[in-house]
Structure 1
Amino acid sequence: MIDTRGFRRCVSDAGRAVRGWAGADPRRLLPAVTPAVTAMLLVLVQIAYPLSAGTARDRITVTVVVLSAATAVLHAATTRGWRWAVGFFVIVSGLGLAAEVIGTATGFPFGDYAYAVDRIGPALAEVPLVVPLAWTGGLYPIWIVAGLLVHRDASIGSAVRRAGLFVVGAVGWDLFLDPQMVADGQWTWQVTDAGLPGLPQIPYTNYLGWALVAAVMALLLTVLDRLVPPARDPSVAVPVAVFGWTWLGSTLAHAVFLGLPASAVWGFLGLAPLGIPLLLRARSHETAADRTN
């Protein structure tokens, strides 16, 4: 006999969603769905990346970054409020820009590297201004997922565990980002033979630098959460979906379409400490829902 409970539940959920949207105040509905729209556009533009080259690919790169940052800020604003959204942006993009400016000038904390500043828009102190936006777009889903995987209370232990997951996730995301952008010539390193197996062109110091910067960000974001707590449990569907797409979609893209099998493996493993528990959590919730129906 075919079990139709899952199908009936999906139809029921979709019906409730449609009825809710139909009866919603358009002035409140539009902000709520905007992050989902920008997230879908983000996916579509990223799919076009492997199919492009040259100037077109540079433009797609900028568009991807802008859409990812817009998705992050809009979702944060609609679920946590503009004060928290602005705080997140200032912390992550601000620290990201500061770290990049210091990094390109001194080699600390990432190692000696330089951007191709004539390709992806205007630059400040040899750092393209689109780069700090990438920090916000890439790390917002990781911060949200890290929070989902940690028991939410006011204890120091919970804050430390979330911060640890955030640092691991930030480095994991960079295991996709750096190999892809280096292969595309967006930045280059002075040391090109001191990296992970299959990724010698990116030195170990880069990942240590990411861990350090992400740890400082996590500390400040923890303070932000204390100062501007949410009024209720916010919806996290959009950033969770973006995280899943980044993890699994990037693995597929690097392995099949971009010719970067090493970063496909390293990136998958790097985000797995967040991705696998997230999948298990979703599975347990689905099982619990089945038992109640």
Structure 2
Amino acid sequence: MTPRLPWYGLGLLILAQICYPLTSGGARAAVTVTTVVLGFALSVGHAALTRGPRVAGALVLVTTGGGLLVEAVGVAAGFPFGDYTYSGQLGPKIAGVPWVIPLAWTWMAWPAWLAAVRLVRHPAARILVAGVGLAAWDVFLDPQMVAEGYWTWSNPSPSLPGVPDVPLGNYAGWLVVAVLMMAFLGAVAGGPPGRDAPMYALYLWTWLSSILAHAAFLGLPASAGWGALAMGLVAVPLAASLVKIDDGVRA
């Protein structure tokens, strides 16, 4: 039964995410928090089940602890993401950062890392691919959350065409932080793939569902396109690696 637990967790997460476009206001904020908590539990739980408590603990220390640290610095100093502030819609704050925000770093860091483990063997290249895989998610995340008023930038220029409320420097900051996180994570979580299909599904679901949600339900067509391209840098090779065709037979 234990190997099935991540799949059950993924199912619950998907159900919660489906509720997002069906809600608004305080209910949508509650769905957002619930989704992040479920995603955090899914990733940490999978790490514990497949790699052991040491790796799961390192994942939390590096991505949750590191996420809180970098977000607190970002809110206080305007670096490395630009000058931004959080509203109070996502609940209580720690050092100016809603408590749920660091959990989101962990949620997507683990599937991004495992996607890179599957795709790349060289340690340095693996760290870079994993960092891109995590940072690319933010091309969806920030436009969506800013549109809901969960946080705002004081000066979002220059920005991507069609996404005027998020500065380009934010994405660069995400990439630098994500690569650094993956370098630390890789020191303890290296090794071959193993029972990682639920995390591959999580990464691909996030990519495809975000494209659909932004384009069809949230009124964010530009971020749908940019996010599709950015996250597709890892998602497309990952999907291709999962579909092996030998002599016309799908494996």
Q: Partner of 1:273 in structure 2?
A: 233
Q: Partner of 2:123 in structure 1?
A: 159
Q: Is the 8 A contact 1:173 1:267 kept in 2?
A: yes
Q: Partner of 1:290 in structure 2?
A: 249
Q: Is the 8 A contact 2:112 2:131 kept in 1?
A: no
Higher CA-based Rg: 1
Change (3 A) 1:35 1:189: same
- What runs of 5+ residues in structure 2 fail to find an aligned partner? none
1:288 Cα deviation from its structure 2 partner: 6.8
1:112-154 deviation digits (Å, cap 9, x = unpaired): 00001x2112111110010000000122111111111013xxx
Q: Partner of 2:144 in structure 1?
A: 180
SS in 1 for 2:243: helix
Q: Distance in 2 between matches of 1:271 and 1:288?
A: 30
- What runs of 5+ residues in structure 1 fail to find an aligned partner? 1-28, 152-157
For residues 35-114 of structure 1, the aligned pairs below 5 Å read 35-114=6-85
For residues 1-293 of structure 1, the aligned pairs below 5 Å read 29=1, 31-116=2-87, 118-151=88-121, 158-225=122-189, 233-284=193-244, 286-287=245-246, 290=249
Q: Which amino acid aligns with 2:163?
A: L
1:158-205 deviation digits (Å, cap 9, x = unpaired): 111111111211221000000000000000000133211111211111
SS in 2 for 1:200: strand
Q: Distance in 2 between matches of 1:147 and 1:180?
A: 29
Change (3 A) 1:216 1:41: same
Once the two structures are overlaid, the 10-residue window that deviates more, 31-40 or 210-219, is 31-40
TM-score of the superposed pair, with normalisation by structure 1: 0.82
Q: Distance in 1 between matches of 2:209 and 2:55?
A: 29
Q: Distance in 2 between matches of 1:291 and 1:36?
A: 23
Q: Distance in 2 between matches of 1:249 and 1:44?
A: 12
TM-score of the superposed pair, with normalisation by structure 2: 0.95
SS in 2 for 1:58: helix
Q: Distance in 1 between matches of 2:155 and 2:89?
A: 22
Q: Which amino acid aligns with 1:217?
A: M
1:80-116 deviation digits (Å, cap 9, x = unpaired): 1111111111101111110000000000100000001
What stretches of structure 1 move > 3 A for 4+ residues in a row? 286-289
Q: Distance in 2 between matches of 1:174 and 1:287?
A: 36
Tell me how large the CA RMSD over aligned residues is: 1.6
Q: Distance in 2 between matches of 1:205 and 1:288?
A: 47
Q: Which amino acid aligns with 2:60?
A: F
Q: Which amino acid aligns with 2:231?
A: L
Aligned residues: 251
SS in 2 for 1:110: coil
